[in-house]
Structures are given as C-alpha cells and as structure tokens.
Amino acid sequence: MEPMAADKPAAPAAASPPLGRVLMLAAQAWSGFQAGQSLDRALDAALETSRGASAALAGALRDVTTTAVRRFAVTEFLLTRLAHRPPDPDVRALFAVSAAQLLAGAYPDFTLVDQAVRAARAREATAAAAGFLNALLREFLRRREELVREAEQDPARHGNVPPWWLARLHREYGARRTQEILAAQNEEPPLVLRVNVRCTTVPAYLDQLAAEGLAASRAGESAVWLHRALPVERIPGFTEGQVSVQDAGAQLAAALLGVAPGMRVLDACAAPGGKTAHLLELGDCSVDAVERDPERARRIDANLQRLALTGPRARVLVADARHPGRFWDGRPYDRILLDAPCTASGIVRRHPDVVWLRRPGDVAKLATQQAKLLDALWPLLARTGRLLYAVCSIFPEEGRQQSSSFVERHPDARIVPLRQGEPGGWQLLPRSAQTAPMEFDYSKQPVFQDGFFYALLEKV
Ligand SMILES: C[S@@+](CC[C@H](N)C(=O)[O-])C[C@H]1O[C@@H](n2cnc3c(N)ncnc32)[C@H](O)[C@@H]1O
C-alpha cells in the first residue's frame, strides 16, 4: 500500500525540524525505553546518533517521545487489534510513536502517516516494513473511534498505568481520587520557577517577565508559574542565577525545615542540589550536601555556582549517607533534610516513564532503603533538632507508613504536625494546573505541585 497522499501538506513553522526525522529518532529513543532505559537516557542516546542536532530537533524529539510514553498502554493495545502477529521491534517502535501522535492530533493525519512511512524507508531496519506500517496506521485511522473506545474501557489502560500500579492507588485513595490523580499525571507539567530571594523578589521578577511579554503568576512563597514553557537558557534571569526550575511542592521542603541563621544543616541525598540551593538562599545557615553519585554531585556544584552560593557555607560531599562515619565530623546537625530515593510515583507527569520502568517489588525495596537512611541519620541530629523526611511518592509505604514505623522504632522522635488531620505526615497529591483555582492562599497548599510526602521529625 502506498503512503497517504499529502494533498494539503501541513505548513510547519520555519524552524521546525522535519517530522520524519523526529519520528525516526523518537522510535530509537522508544526502543531504548523498551529496553529499560529511563526516558532521559534514551533521548540522550538517540540524539547522540544525530550529529549536530539543533535545539529545535531535541525539543521536538522530547515532545514526540514523551507523548508516546504517555500513550503507551493504548498504542500497545492497538497493535494487538491491528496486527495479526507482533511486528519486529523497530517497526513496533515507529508504530508506537506515530500512533501516539495520531491520538494526540498534533499534526494532520495524512502528514503524519506520510512522514512515518518516510521514516520507515529511511532506515535499513524498517525499510522493508514501510508498507506494513502504512497499512497499520491507515487501518487505525479507519477504525479509530471504535478502537479508542475499546482501549479506554480498561481503567489501567485509560490511566496509562500497569494494573498493579492502579490497584495500589485504588487501595489507598479509592476510585474517584485515583481517577483525578491519573488525569493530573497525564497532563503537561507546568513550568515553575524558584526565585532566588538573595538577588530579587517575586513581585520584581514578575514585573521583569511582564516587561518581556511573558505571562506568569505566583505559585508559592518564592514560586512563579511561567504560563508557557521555555528552554531554560531562554528563561529570563536563569543564567544569571535569579531563578531555578523547581516544582512548587518541592519548594516547600526548605520552608518546612525552618532554618535559622547560623544553623548547621545536612542535606543527605542532595543532587542535583535544588533543595540545597534553596536552603542557602533562604537563610545564613551552612549546608553539608551529601550525594552518593559523583557525577550527580558535580551538578550540585554547577547549580551552586550559577546561583553564586559557593563558599564556606556550602560543602558538597560525595558519600553514602547510610554510612555517616565516612563524612560526618561528629558535630550534631540542627536540621537534616532527607529527600530520599523513591519510586517517583508523585512526579509521573514529569517522568511518565517511571510507571513502566518500575516493578511491583521496587516499592518494598525502596521503603527498606529509606528506613535504613532514616535510622543511619537520626543519631546525627542535635537534641530538639528537626529532620524533614521527603519523598516524591504517593505510595503510603514510602510515606505515612514509613514515618509511623520510624517513630515506633525511635522513642526519642515525634512527628510535628504540618496540617490538620494528617498526623503521620503531609501527603500532597499531584494537581492539575487546568482545574486548579487561580486564587489561592499559597501559604497553605500550592495548586500546581507534584505529589510529595513530607514528615517533620523532632528529636525530643
Ligand atoms: C530525590 S533525589 C534528591 C533531589 C534533591 N534533594 C534536589 O532537590 O535536587 C535523591 C538523590 O539521592 C541520591 N542517593 C541515593 N541513595 C543515596 C545514599 N545512600 N547516599 C547519598 N545519596 C544517595 C541519588 O543519587 C539522588 O541524587
């Protein structure tokens, strides 16, 4: 079968990279993701194969591949209905990224199919199957309504999560809230900035954005929501250290820790240093930022440098926080932040790949690791000192259950209530920017935040 004729080709913006090339690279990234790579790693690997890729190409590649991951469950289902036998992995990848674009409706159907077929012909691995791909996509277009309806009857497929993930959410949150969580997770995440209060203020920065014609609004104490996403290098004041990119929910950590001038603070799992920098911006404290991964630790240094926060107040230490003997000088800390490794189930809208890369057993494994970190760090805290336990997760094993079993193990610990009715800690759920009210009291709960759990533990 021939590719669909493009009688009225879509007019891409002058700087838009060719769609066929984007689809081809997205299919490569998709294959990496299928092989177990994180989306970021798979995108980097795909870009490496394309020498001299422009920023526009990299941006389009990210958009197309992310859309495909957000539609993973449905496109997999479509293949089972459209193909009599599973296609070769390279063809499957090209089908997945192309069908996801058809579902998203970002391009006219005929343009998309035409470009997908060209992409298939351009690679040796897929050239022979170009006709087959064309047939699959055209058949999908013919039966789109019926197939999409059938696909979405299954709630896990509709929410783009594996059944075990859905069952966990149901168990904890019930059907209605689970649906809200899944809807929020499948949306474009908002671009939220943290204003560096050492060099400017939120109102002054909002004025600066307005002067440059950029719509924005306040989304927290130091948080600004930029209504249209921009690459970081084009965000006003980013290179000069006036702002950083950080979700509004993540920005709560430094405030909750309650740091005062002169305090000694340990940031135990620190890279890439978003919260370390925020702590240093807020108060004249000193921070030991501990990170196990040396490469990621270099990102803390780079961030502190951009924000002009390097100096004796900030020490970056490469060490495993479970073994304090390797980095601790024996002097107690007044505050400890443990932003522990977790399933990332609260930040799926930013990392849609995590739901497919995680396995059910990971939740218990990570919960054990978090408990070990908590137990190892508790002796480093001064009496009356406070430790903020944070995870970007919405699974109770990593949140409420973790903090409750910690206080059972440690009679000298109490949980400081952060919100009424949540004695075991504060579970923030991901919220949708579209449905949130625009007027809000940002001292309570910001509207655009990702899913986080916070428990403030005090040594009594
Ligand atoms: C959730 S991220 C931290 C994000 C960071 N707090 C921020 O706001 O930018 C967790 C970090 O902990 C690091 N990590 C994991 N296990 C660790 C350990 N045992 N000791 C030190 N760092 C660890 C990971 O490499 C990762 O960089």
With 60 as the cut, is the pLDDT of residue 5 above it?
no
**From ligand 1's centre to the CA of 342, what distance in Å?**
9
> CB of 269 closer than 6 A to ligand 1?
yes
Q: 188-209 pLDDT, tens per residue? A: 888 999 999 999 999 999 999 9
pLDDT of residue 4: 39
Q: Which residue has the tokens 């079968």?
A: 1
State whether the beta carbon of 347 lies less than 6 angstroms from ligand 1: no
- What per-residue confidence (pLDDT) applies to 188? 86
Supply the pLDDT for residue 73.
97
Asked if residue 435 has pLDDT above 70, the reply is no
Ligand 1 pocket member 292 (CB < 6 A): yes
Mean pLDDT over the full length of the chain: 92
Q: Position of tokens 């060719």?
A: 18
Across the range 362-377, mean pLDDT stands at: 98
Query: 361 near 421, Cβ under 8 Å?
Result: no
Average pLDDT over residues 261-278: 97
Q: Inform me whether the pLDDT recorded for 278 exceeds 80.
A: yes
Q: With 90 as the cut, is the pLDDT of residue 161 above it?
A: yes
Is the confidence at residue 2, as pLDDT, over 90?
A: no
- Mean pLDDT, range 433-447, rounded to an integer: 46
Percentage of residues of the chain with pLDDT beyond 70: 93
The verdict on the CB of residue 272 being under 6 Å from ligand 1 is: yes
d(CA 404, CA 331): 27
| CA–centroid distance, residue 322 to ligand 1 (Å) | 12
Least confident of 20-24, 225-229, 412-416: 225-229
254 lines ligand 1 (CB under 6 A): no
Tell me how far the alpha carbon of residue 389 lies from the centroid of ligand 1, in angstroms: 12
Closest ligand 1 atom to Cα of 373: 19
Residue 169 Cα, ligand 1 centroid: separation in angstroms? 25
392 is catalytic: yes
pLDDT tops 80 at residue 6:
no
pLDDT bracket for residue 290 (50, 70, 90): very high
Start and end residues for every CATH 1.10.940.10 domain found in the chain: 19-153
Ligand 1 center to residue 48 CA distance, Å?
Answer: 27
Query: What number does the ligand 1 atom closest to the CA of 320 have?
Result: 20
**What's the confidence (pLDDT) of residue 447?**
56
Q: Is 270 in the pocket of ligand 1 (CB under 6 A)?
A: yes
State what percent of residues in the chain have pLDDT above 90. 83
Check if 322 has its Cβ closer than 6 Å to any atom of ligand 1: yes
* pLDDT over 90 at 17, yes or no: no
- Is residue 410 within 6 Å of ligand 1 at its C-beta? no
**Is ligand 1 within 6 A of the CB of residue 114?**
no
Top-confidence range, 137-151, 170-184, 422-436: 137-151
Q: For residue 287, what are the β-bridge partners?
A: 265, 314
Query: Annotated catalytic residue: which of 269, 285, 342, 392?
Result: 392
Look at residue 15 in the predicted model and tell me its pLDDT.
62
Q: What is the pLDDT of residue 275?
A: 98
* pLDDT tens digits, 404-426: 999 999 999 999 988 777 888 99
Rounded to an integer, the average pLDDT of 384-389 is 98
Which of 194, 269, 343 for mutating ligand 1's site (highest number of atoms within 8 Å of CB)? 269
pLDDT of residue 1: 38
Confidence at 236, pLDDT banded by 50, 70, 90: very high
Q: How many angstroms separate the alpha carbon of residue 390 from the centre of ligand 1?
A: 11
Residue 443's pLDDT is 47
Residue 305: pLDDT band with limits 50, 70, 90: very high
Per-residue confidence at 439, pLDDT binned at 50, 70, 90?
A: very low
Euclidean distance between CA atoms 317 and 322, whole angstroms = 13
Q: Which of 257, 291, 301, 307 to mutate to test the pocket of ligand 1 (most atoms within 8 A of CB)?
A: 291
Write down the pLDDT at residue 446.
Answer: 52
Which residue has a Cα nearest atom 27 of ligand 1? 271
Shortest CA distance to 26 belongs to which of 131, 107, 116, 86?
A: 116
pLDDT tier at 298, thresholds 50, 70, 90: very high
The confidence band for 434, taking pLDDT boundaries of 50, 70 and 90, is very low
pLDDT of residue 368: 98
* pTM for this model (two decimals): 0.91
Look up the CATH number of domain 19-153.
1.10.940.10
Residues of the chain with CATH 3.40.50.150: 247-459
Is it the case that residue 12 has pLDDT exceeding 90? no
Query: What is the CATH number assigned to the segment(s) 247-459?
Result: 3.40.50.150
